[in-house]
Structure 1
């Protein structure tokens, strides 16, 4: 990718339903569904289900999956609470709380509720900030297993909460400034390429780096420290499901949207596979925190 393309969301917003496009694209009609660049030629507009008066409920499938994700997250939080002796229990609960916030925001950002555009932009800023912070918490969960600091302590939980809060606030501010042009610094985000390097790094690159480092840290912990192989099945499954989610949203989405005339796109499948990936992460964590594992 050339330097002139770094930070550009034009192609992403043309072919996919992404929350960030809500603050980079000005929609021609507030009643149109969110998330895509309606001004682009050959863009497939996700319309979903008509609810009358030229109003649509887009991404109903994603809304339902996000509702399931919220219920699943509460169940996993409860199950985590019952594992009183598990290493990294509080830290895993922080990750689940982050995913809970992401799921709630996603209902209003890529879900096609007919909201006021400014309200949708506010949810979008919170969504983007929650994504960045949640992936950071996932990375910190990978560090916790090495017991550099006793897990579950005020110091361990406090460091994760403070660092994640800093990422959330910083990313959220940039997203809000982009959406509402408070300072005008990010106004060039509305040019033909919709370029925003800060959000590109925080929303696109940071999650990938966190996932990669988490996978490496946990693979070393399981194979070299614990001397086990079976938990790697859950870790690999989580990585594969996460990759499939991104492929559906960024690559396959447009090929689903066009044949269905905008009834559905890859966002539904991304929501589904992201949920399955998080479940696999929890099962992996649970499998390496049983009492019969050797202590590092």
Structure 2
């Protein structure tokens, strides 16, 4: 069965999406032609085991990216972009339970959690879209106006996606498991439109406001990864599954490529945002490491017992003529006290020779 616009029949026939067990007119969902093997752990069947490992890896990578984002205290759009990664992490955590069928498809709560998952996907792409306009400074980033607009609008889109999905699963408000046009729009069409708008806005931002063109490479790799995820998941899932004898299917590569595209979003944001070091209070010690320009390449300026600070040495009396100055006594290593000295005499005293 081929791809059909506003219909899940052809999609669910090829790839095992979490919504597919709740759609169709048979009451048993739409089963794909080929899906990955199950494994049994403690008398519990785990579906899509390889895909679950990718979800776990996505959680780890998201935690790392959030840590680095939060460490850039003065970067533009820091608070806005971190919400996108929080929503993505929650979505990946929920996908572990849905893809693996830890929450059984026959359970009454499966439809509720699936609707939550669809709502999260809608809000994630909306949040990404709004973050695309933060760089244009229509509203000052980090202010309550910017943050609350993002949070409230993301919640509204989450509620919209949840209600459309739940009404489709339960056959309410003119929707049903066989009338999936609304669900198709919020789960598949809306995210694609958000990605297109986000990419166009970021290309315009880079070309008009930045001198560096390297961020365009991050955008390109992110777009290619997103396109590859869609093609492998919806176009070649059955062929992949048959070729590798049911060990993995298109869902595995789809989730993997989506993770890579999210990582490219972080890489792009990191490449276009610079931290104001004057107001930075991060843990990067090198930011505050001021080197003495008078020191030579082999000199060492170390604060320790019996030494004097660089600032104090600036006001110290100059060494007597012929005393060797900063170099110490003859034969002493550059920048260090001569052997036999007590270590309290900076500048070094003239040697007796």
Distance change >3 Å, CA 137–CA 95, structure 1 → 2: same
Aligned to 1:141: 131
- Counterpart CA distance in 2 for 1:259 and 1:54 is 29
Alpha-carbon shift at residue 26 of structure 1 (Å): 7.3
Indicate the residue corresponding to 1:44 in structure 2.
33
Aligned to 2:84: 95
Contact 1:231 1:288 in 2 (8 A): yes
- Structure 1 residues without counterparts, runs of 5 or longer: 30-35
Give the corresponding residue for 2:263: 279
Instruction: Give the number of the structure whose alpha-carbon radius of gyration is greater.
Output: 2
Q: 2-side partners of 1:37 and 1:108: how far apart?
A: 19
Partner of 2:133, secondary structure, is: helix
2:40 alignment partner, SS class: strand
Q: Is the 8 A contact 1:106 1:127 kept in 2?
A: yes
> Are residues 140 and 114 of structure 1, via their aligned partners in 2, closer, same or farther at CA, if it must alter by over 3 Å?
closer
SS at match of 1:145: helix
Deviation by residue 1:31-90 (Cα, 9 ceiling, x = unmatched)? xxxxx723xxxx424251242899742211111111111121122111111111111001
Give me the CA root mean square deviation. Answer: 2.2
Structure 1 residues 89 and 262, CA, compared in 2 at 3 Å: closer, same or farther?
Answer: same
2:114 corresponding residue in structure 1 = 124
Partner of residue 219, structure 1: 203
Counterparts of 2:268 and 2:11, CA distance in 1: 32
CA distance 1:64–1:214, shift in 2 (3 Å): same
Number of aligned pairs? 272
Q: Which residue of 1 aligns with 2:252?
A: 268
TM-score (norm 2): 0.72
Question: Residues 142-157 of structure 1: matches in 2 within 5 Å?
Answer: 142-157=132-147
Work out the CA distance in 1 between the residues paired with 2:250 and 2:98: 15
CA distance in 1, matches of 2:73, 2:90: 24
Closer, same or farther in 2 for the Cα pair 1:213/1:260, shift >3 Å?
same
- Which residue of 2 is the match for residue 32 of structure 1? none
SS at match of 1:238: helix
Cα 1:80/1:205, change in 2 over 3 Å: same
Q: TM-score, length-normalised on structure 1?
A: 0.85
**Counterparts in 2 of 1:229 and 1:179: CA distance versus 1, 3 Å:** same
- Measured at CA, do residues 61 and 50 of structure 1 come closer, stay the same or move farther in structure 2, by a change above 3 Å? closer
Question: Retained in 1: the 8 A contact 2:13–2:30?
Answer: yes
Cα deviation, 1:175-195, whole Å, max 9, x if unaligned, reads 1122233x36212x33xxxx4
Decide which of 226, 232, 237 is 2:221's aligned counterpart: 237
**Is the 2:225–2:257 Cα contact (8 Å) retained in structure 1?**
yes
Structure 2: 5+ residue runs without aligned partners? 277-353
1:206-264 C-alpha deviation (Å, 9 max, x unpaired): 10111011001111111121132111111111111111111110011110123344332
Counterpart contact for 1:245–1:273, Cα < 8 Å? yes
Measured at CA, do residues 175 and 104 of structure 1 come closer, stay the same or move farther in structure 2, by a change above 3 Å? same
Kindly state the Cα deviation for residue 124 of structure 1 after the two structures are TM-superposed. 1.1
Secondary structure at the counterpart of residue 258 of structure 1: helix
Contact (CA 8 Å) 2:36, 2:247: kept in 1 or not? yes
Instruction: Give runs of ≥4 in structure 1 deviating > 6 Å.
Output: 26-29, 52-55
Compare the two structures and name the one with the higher helix fraction.
1
Structure 2 contact 121–187 (Cα < 8 Å) conserved = yes
